Structure 1
Amino acid sequence: MLERCKTAQERWGGVHEIIDRWLKSRKVLVESYVGLREIGEYTPTDTPKVLAFCELLVDYVSTGHFEVYEQLALEAKEFHDEAALECLHKILPELSTNTSIVLEFNDKFDTKEHCNSHLVDLPFALQTLGLLIDERFAYEDQLIEELHEAHSESA
Structure 2
Amino acid sequence: MLEECQSAKERWGGVHDIIDRWLAERRELIVRMFAVNGGRGLDVEEAPIEERIQRFCEVLVDYVSAGHFEVYEQLLREAQEFRDADLEKARAVFVRLEDNTEHVLSFNDNYSDVRETRQHLSELDSDLSRLGEQLEERFELEDQLIQDLHEVHRDKVISEG
Give the alignment's TM-score, normalised by structure 1: 0.84
Partner of 2:71: 68
State whether structure 2 residue 58 is matched by structure 1 residue 55: yes
State the partner residue of 1:10.
none
Q: Larger Rg: 1 or 2?
A: 2
**Cα drift, residue 15 of structure 1:** 6.9
Q: Write the deviation string for residues 57-79 of structure 1: whole angstroms up to 9, x where unpaired.
A: 00000000000000000000111
2:143 equivalent to 1:141? yes
Q: Deviations over 1:80-112 (max 9, x none)?
A: 1132x1121110011000000111110000111
Structure 1: runs of 5+ lacking an equivalent: 1-13
Q: Secondary structure at the match of 2:70?
A: helix
Structure 2 counterpart SS, 1:81:
coil
Selected match of 1:80 from 67, 75, 83: 83
- CA drift of 1:120 comes to 0.6
Q: Which structure 2 residues correspond to residues 91-102 of structure 1 after superposition, within 5 A? A: 91-102=93-104
- Moved >2 Å (runs of 4+): none
Percent of aligned positions that are identical = 45
1:33: Cα distance to partner? 0.7
Root mean square deviation, CA, Å? 1.6
Q: TM-score, normalised by structure 2?
A: 0.81
Distance across 2 between alignment mates of 1:21 and 1:75:
18
Q: Indicate if the aligned counterparts of 1:51 and 1:112 stay in contact, CA closer than 8 A.
A: yes
> How far off is 1:45 after superposition?
3.1
SS of the equivalent of 2:83 reads coil
Which structure carries more relative contact order (alpha carbon 8 Å, separation 6+)? Answer: 2
